[in-house]
Amino acid sequence: MFYMTASLFLIAAVSFGMMGGQVIYQGTNRTISFEIRSQDAETAAAIVSLVSLAVGMSKQQEKG
């Protein structure tokens, strides 16, 4: 569940990052903080693809 929430925050951060922004997510024992600038658009696209791949893998593990 943590990774699903973190993935949603990451996707939101990428969306805000196109304009420039910073997102901090604090879980029970983990903290995720990152800042995305507009020139990181290629990196953001790679992050989104990795996150979607990870979410897909976790959904398959839940089914299996």
Q: How many other β-carbons are positioned within 10 Å of the β-carbon of residue 58? A: 13
Phi and psi at residue 20, to the nearest 5°? 100, 120
Classified as helix, coil or strand, 59 is helix
* pLDDT-based confidence at residue 17 (cuts at 50, 70, 90): low
37: its two tokens:
């600038």
Q: pLDDT at residue 10 above 60?
A: yes
Instruction: Identify the helix (H) or strand (E) that includes residue 35.
Output: strand 31-36
pLDDT above 60 for 24: yes
Contact 44, 14 (CB under 8 A): yes
- pTM for this structure? 0.37
